[in-house]
Amino acid sequence: MSDFSLPRPGRCKWAEGDAGNYTFPCSNRVEAGVSYCADHSAIVYIPPEERRRNRSGGGMSLSFKRAA
């Protein structure tokens, strides 16, 4: 086992693999308190379906509609 199998402070915590067997292949630096780099946070927080719609504008109001 090596450090590669653990998320590191100050690094993107994007995980790949199955439960109990994760790896953290992304070593992009992130700010304190931030879990993912810009690329991966986009994947984590915005479903691909919505990402496509957001390109035509109105992203914020879309989020509110979903929450209602």
Contacting positions for Zn ion (CB under 5 A): 12, 14, 26, 28, 37, 40
Q: How far is the CB of 59 from Zn ion (least distance, A)?
A: 21
Q: How far is the CB of 29 from Zn ion (least distance, A)?
A: 10
Q: List Cβ<8 Å contacts ≥24 apart for 43-46.
A: 44/14
Residues 22 and 5 sit within 8 Å (Cβ to Cβ): yes
* CB of 61 vs Zn ion, minimal distance in Å: 28
In sequence order, the 6+-apart residues with CB closer than 8 A to the CB of 38 are none
- In this complex, which beta carbon is closest to Zn ion, that of residue 41 or of residue 54? 41
